[in-house]
Amino acid sequence: MRPGRVLVDEEAIATRLAEMGAEITADYEGKDLLLVAVLKGAFMMMADLARHILLPVDIDFMAVSSYGAATETSGVVRILKDLDQEIAERHVLIVEDIIDSGLTLDYLRRNLEVRQPASLEIATLLLKAGIQRVPIEVKYVGFEIPPDFVVGYGLDLVGKMRNLPYVAVMEED
């Protein structure tokens, strides 16, 4: 397997993140906003999106791992690193690189809702259209993509290729 056709190039990502950042800036003006990125995939999205949000935001990170087959999310999620801070009464925006089955975010949303934030929304760069196994409400979506195996811009193949500045479809050699 190797990265083949570029699905979303660097310029398209930059343009879309600027738009999303402007929208988020307008929506959260005057509010205490905490951005929560889900490691590892979302590290690049977090860094780039945050620069387009023209508000004094706070940032935090969670690390989670799915049990079960390595290539498919089982829906059973284990928290490897929890948030450093309390989120009660705060406006929380989860920043993700991709939503596939939706099971990771479904778990995270329920886990964080228990802590009673003032609001809890999701921003994702990529959404694999129509294949979610649970209904999931996503406020900010960068791009809807087909259900191909993609890498780059945070997304990995066995730990590698996260540093590609674009999103590419994996192809057979």
User: Which range in 7-15, 50-58, 92-100, 143-151 contacts ligand PRP by CB under 6 A?
Assistant: 92-100
Residues 6+ apart with CB under 8 A from 163: none
Binder of ligand PRP out of 33, 97, 122, 153 (CB under 6 A): 97
Q: List, as one string, the DSSP characters of 69-94.
A: -TTS--S-EEEEE--SS--TTSEEEE
What is the rounded CA–CA span in Å between residue 45 and residue 57? 15
Catalytic, out of 32, 100, 148, 173? 100
Answer yes or no whether residue 102 interacts with ligand PRP by CB under 6 A.
Answer: yes
| Contact assessment for residue 147 and residue 127, using Cβ atoms and an 8 Å cutoff | no
Q: Which residues pair with 98 in a beta bridge?
A: 126
Window 21 to 80, contacts with ligand PRP (CB under 6 A):
38-42, 66, 73
Position 100 contacts ligand PRP (CB under 6 A): yes
Q: Give yes or no for residue 142 binding ligand PRP (CB under 6 A).
A: no
Rounded CA-CA distance 72/70 in Å is 6
Instruction: Name which of 32 and 156 has its Cβ closer to ligand PRP.
Output: 156
100 is catalytic: yes
Comparing CB distances to ligand PRP, the nearer of 56 and 130 is 130
The dihedral through the CA atoms of 2, 45, 105, 40 has a sign that is positive
99 binds ligand PRP, rule: CB under 6 A: yes
Catalytic sites, residue numbers: 100
